[in-house]
Amino acid sequence: MTLDRWFGRLPIDSPSVFMKLIPTLIGYVLALGVELVPGVALVITPVYLVTSLVLMALAVVLALAVPWRRTAAAWPLVVPVLALIAIGFLRLGTGSGSSPIAVVLLLPFIWIATEEGRYNILVAAAGMFLVLLAPVVVSNVATSPVDLVRALFSPVIYLVLAGVINEIAHRLRKQLAASKAEAEQREQLLAQAVRAQDELVLNEARLRTANRLIQSIWNAVTEQSVIGTDLDGLIDVWNPGAEKMLGLTEKQVVDGGRHVIDFHLESELEDRLREMDARFTTVASADDFSALVDTVRAGSADVRDWTYVRADGKHVAVQVAATPRLDENGHRVGFIFVATDMTQAREFARLKDEFVGLISHELRTPLSSILGYLELMRDDEEAPLSEEQLQYLGVAERNAHRLLRLVGDLLFTAQVESGRFPIDITDAELRGVVAASVESATPVASSAGVTLVSDVPDEPVEVRGDQVRLGQAVDNLVSNALKFTPSGGTVTVSLSRQGDEAVIAVTDTGIGIPAVEVSQLSQRFFRASTATRNAVPGVGLGLTITKAIVTAHGGRLDIASEEGVGTSISLRLPIETPRPVAEAVPGAERSS
């Protein structure tokens, strides 16, 4: 334990001042003791001796009692100045200029000279000058020229000495401060290094945990194959799902330098290349990889159906999502292909479509027969029906026609799912299409108490398309709008030309659709929650059929809705010649 820390435990407000006084106090006590030894003491002047004792006692009291750390930096010099004067009086009282204790004056002198500040040089030198000159002033003995020169010359030496001591102390303080700052900086750096080391250990532990988790997830993905390649298609990532799907281990594929196109049907790659830019005039092995990643290279992900070829030669129908593979700087370094086996899903879809088509055909025949016999009963002049019987017959006919329309819709959706439904492209004038739909829906709107408004331009709006199918699409939109609009509401059917598009918009003030459900409206058999809550009749096929018709004409369907406010559905068709998505089937039966 250092002396400073020991004094710090004492009930002293400024222990550093008292500690600096201790050497002077010890020297003073020793000098006083020597002077009082019998046979050694010189002539003692009691007044000076008492004054010396009082001044030294005052210096001790001030050092202990005054809170120097809360005062200005110059005030603590009072203590060494008092000590210096006390020693001077002791010197006067014990032989004046010939007193041997003059050497003790160096202790407070050095203390004053070492304090920070250049003015302390003058304070130390002035104090020594007064103390050394005092015997000459107060002594009654004649002073020799030598004594006078000594008294005047010594302070000059002490002035130089004070300057040297002050400069040395100043430089030592600067070095000490620099050393202390470096030590604190080293401690901070060490603390930062310790924290960094702790964080590094923690991050390494987290990284190991994350790697184990990723590896567990990677090994658990067995139903999808994940294949990673470099920019040229050379495989360097092969997950357990790929091993299960294609029948080769990671070592066999990666070490064997296999290319991703090795697992694709060459005919599908050729078909894809022909669909791409005209620059692909020949199909070469080097170009086959472009069929897989051309869209990804353009900056977007690509989801497409392909056929994988297993190691044993078997074919697997898959849906592949191709995405770019990026490094830590965001630069593309390869590609990732995530494939899902669609064999079962496609088989289920095929069976479902076959079932729907079969049921539709099987229901259509007896319904047609029922309607035929109902018509014969109504027109039988030999056995006319009563008014009540005709009313019952009308109910049966309406329900039979409703079932027939539903069967037609089911058959049409089955054709849409298979990618083949009838479409006859001709010049179609849309004002007539809109007018026919409004005219057909007017009786329904009147009975429902809904205002039906038609807004069409004076000039013709023509497109290339199937006028019957387009009329069916508009009929579906108007019918839906009337069903979902309560009495007193309004349904507006408008036609406009916007740039190179013809737009048919059906807007209602009905119950609307929740925002989260808008994206699902065109799914087969989907019904909005608002329709279910309000018990609005329907099976959820109208928008599915409408979207298929619009897509077949190269257009799109825009839906905007707000629950409690209304819905607006826009049918947008290109003015130029459309490129049908669905293939026309000559002689195919049309559903209404």
Token digits of residue 439: 């005219």
Residue 494 sits at the vertex; the CA angle it makes with 430 and 553, to the nearest 5 degrees, is 40
Sheet of strand 235-238, all strands in order from the earlier edge strand to the far edge: 235-238, 224-230, 332-341, 315-326, 302-309
pLDDT of residue 588: 33
Question: What does residue 175 show for φ and ψ, rounded to 5 degrees?
Answer: -65, -40
3-state secondary structure of 504: strand
Q: How many Å apart are CA 306 and CA 319, to the nearest integer?
A: 6
Looking at the predicted structure, is the pLDDT value of residue 427 above 80? yes
DSSP H or E segment with residue 128: helix 119-138
Q: How many Å apart are CA 139 and CA 121, to the nearest integer?
A: 28
**Residues linked to residue 434 through DSSP beta bridges, in sequence order:** none
pLDDT of residue 1: 46
Within the chain, how many helices (H) and strands (E) appear? 17, 12
Q: What is the pLDDT of residues 115-150, one digit of tens each?
A: 888 888 888 888 887 877 776 666 654 455 666 666
Q: How many Å apart are CA 13 and CA 10, to the nearest integer?
A: 9
Q: CB-based contacts of 62: which residues, under 8 Å, 6+ apart?
A: 78, 79, 82
Q: Which pTM does this prediction carry?
A: 0.41
Token look-up 């004492």 returns: 10
**Alpha helices of 10-75 — where are they, by DSSP H?**
15-35, 46-65
What amino acid occupies position 425? I
CATH class for the domain made up of 224-341: alpha beta
Looking at the predicted structure, is the pLDDT value of residue 516 above 60? no
More confident residue, 424 or 263: 263
How many other C-beta atoms can be found within 10 angstroms of the C-beta atom of residue 228? 20
Looking at the predicted structure, is the pLDDT value of residue 413 above 60? yes
Q: What is the dihedral of CA 77, 83, 84, 90, to 10 degrees?
A: 170
3-state secondary structure of 19: helix
Q: How many Å apart are CA 102 and CA 123, to the nearest integer?
A: 18
* Span between the terminal Cα atoms of the chain, in Å: 104
Eight-class DSSP state of 319: E
Token digits of residue 323: 């995405």
65: left (phi over 0), alpha (psi -120 to 50) or beta: alpha
Q: What is the pLDDT of residues 462-505, one digit of tens each?
A: 888 888 888 888 888 888 788 778 888 889 999 888 888 888 89
Q: By 3-state DSSP, what share of the chain in percent is helix, strand and coil, each rounded to 5?
A: 60, 15, 25
pLDDT of residue 142: 47
Token look-up 């091993």 returns: 243
DSSP H or E segment with residue 556: strand 556-562
Strand ranges (E), 456-549: 462-465, 490-498, 501-508
Looking at the predicted structure, is the pLDDT value of residue 418 above 80? no
CATH number for the region 426-574 comes to 3.30.565.10
pLDDT of residue 308: 92
Q: How many Å apart are CA 586 and CA 171, to the nearest integer?
A: 107
